[in-house]
Amino acid sequence: MASIVEECSDTFEDPKPPWRERKQRYINHLAHASDDTILVSLADKLDNARAILRDYRQHGDELWQRFSVRDPRQPCGITDRYWPSIADAMRPTPAHQAA
């Protein structure tokens, strides 16, 4: 169980590296993560998305000011790049499908 938590963490460094660097390393790591780690990470991302949706319904566009990483073309880099990249990284591979 502790190994899954460790695999789901994007860094243990202090101070943390820049957001984009951490997230890209995490996305790259998912290609080699265990099925259990993928499942827990997916559940975490779903919970995060639901929380953001709930807060968006309550606070509107003001919500995006909470995020420190901003893309001038989008309210937040999470929505236009990070989550789609996570989804791609979590797609089953032929090796997973054979298992």
pLDDT tens-digit profile of 19-48?
888 888 998 888 888 889 999 998 998 998
pLDDT number for residue 20? 81
pLDDT number for residue 93? 62
Q: Which two tokens stand for residue 38?
A: 């993928």
For the chain, domain boundaries:
2-98
pLDDT tens-digit profile of 54-84?
999 999 988 877 776 555 555 455 656 777 7
Cβ–Cβ under 8 Å, residues 40 and 90: no
Other Cβ atoms less than 10 A from the Cβ of 33: the count is: 18
pLDDT number for residue 66? 78
Q: Which residue has the higher pLDDT, 2 or 67?
A: 2
